[in-house]
Amino acid sequence: MSDTIRISEIFGPTIQGEGALIGQPTIFVRTGGCDYRCSWCDSMHAVDSEHRHEWKAMSASAIFEEIEKLSGGVPIMVSLSGGNPAIQNLKPLIDMGHAKGYKFALETQGSIAQDWFEDLDVLTLSPKPPSSDMDTDWIVLAECLAVSNSKPDIALKFIVKDDEDYIYAKDAANKYPEYPVYLQPCNHSITKDDIDGVINNTHWLINKALEDQWFEAIILPQLHVLLWGNKRGV
């Protein structure tokens, strides 16, 4: 296994814009590469190999040095994202950060299980719904949960674009009732800012869940999109 990690970008501190840690001060380490090609992906610069020339091969120590520089040496939550960060071996980075008091959260679609998931502080599994044009391998998703050994805090997050996605999310959540569920309306416009569209989609999803009496679901928009639009690095 390579000693370097493909990095698309490292930025922050900013706030986490979605999911279980929304609003929490965070530094983002966005890795390069993904095994999915979701139809509405808003991070193609970290997904498609045509952007490979923009990615930088960095050692875990070089990445952590940048994290410490950005945080001023003060421990903070570090979000490991992508692409799919589960493609690469992030254990050395996590171990290095933990030794200095940093915490690590990772979000992945659950298509690749890694033993180092158990070293995370927060694991968010976000299987992709029908509108993504991707298929979910539920066996591998279950494997992701198994290898975590219930050590990190675990949450499920679903992007919902339409009724079919909503049904998918509810069925998936019913498979794992022990975990908190976050629903996020799809940001249908990734090339331009459409705050009204985000708000309208959020209203639709809230009304849908409440009418359905799905009271366990936590419904959140992408806060960073509402604040900064689709700008990168915030």
Give the Cα separation of 145 and 125 in Å (integer). 9
Is 50 contained in some domain?
Answer: yes
**Residue 82, preceding bond cis, omega within 30 degrees?**
no
For residue 197, being part of any structural domain is answered with yes
Q: Tell me the per-residue pLDDT of 43-68, one tens digit each, with 9 for 90 and over.
A: 788 887 777 888 999 999 999 999 99
**Does any domain span residue 233?**
no
pLDDT per position in the chain (234 positions), as tens? 468 999 999 999 999 988 899 999 999 999 999 999 988 887 788 887 777 888 999 999 999 999 999 999 999 999 999 999 999 999 999 999 999 999 999 999 999 999 999 999 999 999 999 999 999 999 999 999 999 999 999 999 999 999 999 999 999 999 999 999 999 997 765 555 677 777 888 999 999 999 999 999 999 987 767 766 665 555
Position 234 in a domain: no
Each residue's pLDDT tens digit, 123-155: 999 999 999 999 999 999 999 999 999 999 999
Q: Which domain holds residue 216?
A: 4-228
How many domains does one find in the chain? 1
- Is 51 within a domain? yes
**Residue 136 is assigned to a structural domain of this protein:** yes
Q: How far is the C-alpha of 152 from the C-alpha of 122, rounded, in Å? A: 5
**How far is 110 from 169, CA to CA, in rounded Å?**
14
CATH number at residue 15: 3.20.20.70
What does the block give as tokens for 53?
A: 């020339």
